[in-house]
Amino acid sequence: MAVDTVIDLADIVKSYKVKKQHEPFLALDGVSLSVERGELFGLLGSNGAGKTTLIKIMAGLLEPNGGTGTVLGHDIYRDHKAIRSCVSLVAPTADVGTDNNLTVRQNLEFWAVVYDLDRSQRAARIDEMLDFLDLRPYENAWPMSISAGNRQKVAIARSLLVRNPILFLDEPTVKLDETAAASVRELIARINAEFATTVILTTHFLFEAEELCGRVAIMDHGKIVSCDTIEHLRDRWSDHTEMTVTCDRPDDTTWAALDALPFVVSSAPTDHGLSVRLREDDRLTDVLGLLRGDGLSIQSVATRTPTLEDIFVDTINGGRPALNGEGGA
């Protein structure tokens, strides 16, 4: 089956002039990326990694300083208007583009006109979005009188009115409480599955990307440092096995002996024992033998499957695994 690539970027560079600085700020530094039709794709990175700048270039809102690329076949330099007409972007805050002097339904009616949606389709499409996003009870409410989660749904409903094939969601749950964020995540999965919409999601919440995305790109200082399925990223990270041992606290002599073992990558204390990263998972018994030989009482042993947060921190650290939440996103 032929791959249908909807976004194809090569060596994208974007820099900004900064006041009182001689050198421009390099927001994107040689980014290459391909996204296939129908993907739910995640962009991960800390603040300043370049995620939002990349989104704006793909959405036709910014022109890069270098590199080449197309979005739905449209050139990112020549075809800004064409790109903007066939993609949708939901900003980090739902209040951008929402008029608080109009009801929820009136907001959607206004944007249906802005999007030049055929007059004969407007009412039916608005009704469809109100029902699909569970906004029917609020259609005559003022936006500021409903929850932040429902205001975010209004923003998403607005973006779906014209059924563009690509939807960019920039931090869609960043200001929502846990219940509202879970509802929006469920909605994102439904949009991707039921409308076959290609969704590009930026998020600070790594568990969110792990729950939703088939592939993710990890960005750091304007570069994509890793891009793959979460399963493949986890497989590569799993070259190291982490074991957590609940036991007496080792003394300095035991720590030194443990760290001297050639198959031990790193070790660290925990609240109730220690955590050890190993290159070879069949050497667990050697570690336990050393601990028992030094007279430590062992209560339990557990190994752990790496999460996306582990992978993210490991990747940003340049391959140095972080134990027990070291580092952060």
pLDDT digits (tens, 9 = 90+) for 293-310: 888 888 888 776 666 666
Closest CA to 204 of 228, 170, 232: 170
Position 8 confidence tier, pLDDT thresholds 50, 70, 90: very high
Question: In sequence order, what are the beta bridge partners of 274?
Answer: 245, 269
Query: Over the range 194-225, which residues count as b (16 or more CB within 10 Å of their CB) and which as e?
Result: ebebbbbbbbebbebbbbbbebbbbbbebbbe
Q: What is the DSSP string of 28-86?
A: EEEEEEEEETT-EEEEE--TTSSHHHHHHHHTTS---SEEEEEETTEETTT-HHHHHHH
Dump pLDDT digits (tens) for 52-80.
999 999 999 999 999 999 999 999 999 99
Cβ pair 319, 261 in contact under 8 A: no
Q: Which domains does the chain have, with CATH numbers?
A: 5-231 (3.40.50.300), 239-304 (3.30.70.920)
In tens, the pLDDT along 134-191 reads 999 999 999 999 998 899 999 999 999 998 999 999 988 887 888 888 999 999 999 9
Cβ atoms 179, 185 nearer than 8 A:
no
Per-residue pLDDT for 284 more than 80?
no
Question: What pLDDT shows up at residue 1?
Answer: 39
Residue 319 has pLDDT above 70, yes or no: no
